[in-house]
Amino acid sequence: MRARLVLWSVLGWAFLPGAGAAEPRHLVLDPAATEISFVLPTTVTEVRGRALLASGEIHFDPASGQASGRIVVDAGSSRTGIRLRDRRMHRDVLEVVRFPTIVFLPEAIEIVKPGEPAAEILLRGRIAIHGAEHPLVIPARVTREDGALRIEAGFSVPYVEWGMKDVETLFLESSPRVEVRIAARATWLEEGSVGPMGSRR
């Protein structure tokens, strides 16, 4: 019960302006104000790149911590700044013709460290990538600013373990894991409004 009260309190200030803490809410990420970056360590240097958020919505119930929705990344938008390397990444690793999107499906929000105006959370769910789904826990820092939320998150993708081609032949000897960082701006929708993905709450 204490943990649930903490959850209500944090989500109350962060996500629920003018609403009861127990009411389900609808959070929308702004693709234009979201930066997705990734780093692949190699024996020579670090390969750095970026990708674009196509859309993102999270529906959640502060009373239970349960969440749902879809956060969609355009796999074909990933770029490292070298055209040949990007073509190989799209063709041989991500296989973007077959798998054009990477989708995170949120299932729960857990408060790790409540605070004002920032809190640390864990966003639990599944990631659909390269034709398969895998459980994923994303640590994030959520800050209230200018009537919106700033979300900063980071996680590791074990792409080789998840069935994608080892890029060792493309980037010399490379790590089997890619480090991903996200900086996003999000706003909430009122009850009954329609989100960018056509959903109504």
DSSP string, 31-79: GGG-EEEEEEEBSS-EEEEEEEEEEEEEEE-TTT-BEEEEEEEEEEEEE
Residue at 58 is within a domain: yes
Residue 155's domain comprises: 2-189
Q: Are 170 and 88 in contact (CB under 8 A)?
A: yes
DSSP 8-class letter at 166: P
Residue at 198 is within a domain: no
Q: What is the pLDDT of residue 172?
A: 66
Q: What is the pLDDT of residue 23?
A: 66
* Positive or negative torsion for Cα 49, 159, 143, 190: positive
Kindly state the tokens that stand for 92.
């041989």
pLDDT digits (tens, 9 = 90+) for 83-113: 998 999 999 999 999 999 999 999 999 988 8
Whether 53 has a pLDDT exceeding 60, the answer reads: yes
Distance of CA 47 to the CA centre of its chain: 20
Whether 8 has a pLDDT exceeding 50, the answer reads: no
Contacts of 76 (CB under 8 A, 6+ apart): 90, 94, 96, 100
| Other Cβ atoms within 10 Å of 166 Cβ, number | 15
By mean pLDDT, which of 32-41, 60-69, 86-95, 130-139 is the weakest?
A: 60-69
Distance CA 99, CA 122 (A): 27
Q: What is the pLDDT of residue 9?
A: 46
Whether 78 has a pLDDT exceeding 80, the answer reads: yes
Mean pLDDT of the 170-188 span:
87
Residue at 37 is within a domain: yes
Whether 6 has a pLDDT exceeding 80, the answer reads: no
Contacts of 169 (CB under 8 A, 6+ apart): none
Q: Count of domains in the chain?
A: 1
Residue at 87 is within a domain: yes
Distance CA 5, CA 114 (A): 11
Residue at 127 is within a domain: yes
Q: pLDDT tier at 66 (50, 70, 90 boundaries)?
A: very high
Q: What is the pLDDT of residue 200?
A: 45
Whether 82 has a pLDDT exceeding 50, the answer reads: yes
Distance CA 201, CA 191 (A): 5
Whether 139 has a pLDDT exceeding 90, the answer reads: yes
Q: What is the pLDDT of residue 170?
A: 52
CATH number of the domain to which 119 belongs: 2.40.128.110
Whether 44 has a pLDDT exceeding 90, the answer reads: no
Residue at 199 is within a domain: no
The share of the chain scoring above pLDDT 70, in percent, equals 80
pLDDT digits (tens, 9 = 90+) for 163-176: 998 876 554 688 89
Average pLDDT, the chain: 84
Residue at 200 is within a domain: no
Residue at 86 is within a domain: yes
Contacts of 45 (CB under 8 A, 6+ apart): none
